[in-house]
Amino acid sequence: MDGFQELHGRARVFLERSTLWCGSIILMNQGALKWMGDHLTISYTDKRSIDHFFKTSRGYRVMYNDLEKKSAFITGAGLPTGIGFAIARSLAESGMDIILADLPDLPYQDQKRPIDQCCAILEKDFGVRTLAVDLDITSAENIRHAVEAVKSFTPTLHALINNAGTNMGAALIGDYDPELWEKVLGVNLLGPFRLVNAMLPLMQKGSSIVNLASRAGKRPLPTCSAYSTSKAGLIMLTKCIAVEYAPRGIRANAICPGQILTEMNLRRYDRDAATQKTTREDVMNRAIQTVPLGRIGLPDDVARVVAFLVSEASGYMTGQALNVTGGQLMEL
């Protein structure tokens, strides 16, 4: 078996055993395999992350029985390569019915939209009910339609996961386009507020809200002031929800991911490589050096924490902002 065939076969084993679906970025020594259906392309990443999943994913699943037949709404979950869909899989493993929401105009080549493909995978793999919702979280009208769609799907919503986010523009504050700055806050902070505001009437005692913030919300990223500010605001919004709705038994927590291998981070690595006149490989290697656990995280690393926060296993936790950074950020 030549090297390519070995890589090909090992990746298939990985896909069968991990909570990532085809389309996810899989880490190998000289490159990452990006699966889009049956098509394979090569890009760079690091061997340690896939080794980590080969060691931990075989037979390793945490199932939360209290989540069975309950419903979760996840934004930014319309593509199989990101954190949103990894969260969906993690919750579906525990038997949750899943509502996937994402922008209506995401690019796709087949006749079947990626978000519909994601729903089909969840139904096939876990036997859960699913619903795909077109949602621009900056649009009040879109959010109203989403609420009506949820009402037609389930009488109550157990989990609301605000995962959608963006990072537009990269400049020093004095050079930052104010319109782009506003747009970032509109998606990352005002959007989650609007959605929580609209969905709270569907939530009841025992329900949980999880907001995907960022390490940047605690330690600012240079040239990313809009992103850092929006995520810091999202952490505070989470704490406000926790304080105000604890008497109703509704919990709210945030997750602050660090270096997670998503398309948004890959674009940032490429941007940094262009600025520094180096390669993506070099940028990623230097990033890995700052992570005590010695690897870049995968969407599944975040998804497992979300499942914990949604379940009763975390029933005495609210108002927290948990770091999922491989030790890169250890402050509260």
CATH number at residue 168: 3.40.50.720
102 and 225 part of one domain: yes
255 and 112 part of one domain: yes
pLDDT tens over the chain, length 332 residues: 343 344 334 333 333 333 333 333 333 333 333 333 333 333 334 455 555 444 444 345 678 999 999 999 999 999 998 999 999 999 999 999 999 999 987 666 666 789 999 999 999 999 999 999 999 999 999 999 999 999 999 999 999 999 999 999 889 999 999 999 999 999 999 999 999 999 999 999 999 999 999 999 999 999 999 999 999 999 999 999 999 999 999 999 999 999 999 887 888 899 889 989 999 999 999 999 999 999 999 999 999 999 999 999 999 999 999 999 999 999 88
Beta-bridge mates of residue 324 = 257
282 touches 65 (CB < 8 A): no
As given in the structure block, the two tokens for residue 305 are 């924490």
15 and 106 part of one domain: no
Q: Sheet harboring 32-36: ordered strands across? A: 25-27, 32-36, 39-43
Q: Which amino acid is at 116?
A: D
Q: In the block, which residue shows the tokens 């909570």?
A: 19
The number of residues making up the chain comes to: 332
Beta-bridge mates of residue 71 = 97
Q: Measured on CA atoms in the order 315, 316, 321, 327, is the torsion positive or negative?
A: negative
- Residue 18: its pLDDT value, please? 38
- Residue 49: its pLDDT value, please? 52
- Residue 12: its pLDDT value, please? 39
8 touches 23 (CB < 8 A): no
- Residue 6: its pLDDT value, please? 41
As given in the structure block, the two tokens for residue 170 are 């990269």
The answer to whether residue 45 is domain-embedded is yes
Q: Catalytic one among 44, 60, 64, 227?
A: 227
142 and 217 part of one domain: yes
The domain tally of the chain equals 2
33 and 70 part of one domain: no
The answer to whether residue 303 is domain-embedded is yes
Q: Which domain holds residue 16?
A: 3-56
- Distance between alpha carbon 246 and the CA centroid of its chain, in Å? 25
47 and 109 part of one domain: no
Q: In the block, which residue shows the tokens 């995907």?
A: 212
What is the number of alpha carbons within 13 Å of residue 146 lying toward its C-beta?
A: 32
Angle between helical axes of 47-56 and 3-17 (0-180°, round to 10):
50
Report how far residue 129's alpha carbon sits from residue 142's, in angstroms, rounded to the nearest whole number. Answer: 22
DSSP per residue over 96-138, as a string?
-EEEEEE-TT---SSSS-HHHHHHHHHHHHH---EEEEE--TT
Domain boundary among 56, 83, 100: 56
- Residue 27: its pLDDT value, please? 38
- Determine how many CB atoms are found less than 10 A away from the CB of residue 216: 21
- Residue 63: its pLDDT value, please? 87
Report how far residue 113's alpha carbon sits from residue 110's, in angstroms, rounded to the nearest whole number. Answer: 7
- Residue 131: its pLDDT value, please? 98
- Residue 105: its pLDDT value, please? 72
Q: pTM (2 decimals)?
A: 0.83
Active site residue 245: no
- Residue 317: its pLDDT value, please? 98
For the CA atoms of 82, 84, 90, 95, the dihedral, rounded to the nearest 10 degrees, stands at -140
As given in the structure block, the two tokens for residue 86 are 């990894």
Ordered alpha helix ranges (H), the chain: 3-17, 47-56, 83-93, 114-126, 140-153, 178-185, 191-199, 225-245, 263-276, 280-289, 299-310
146 and 255 part of one domain: yes
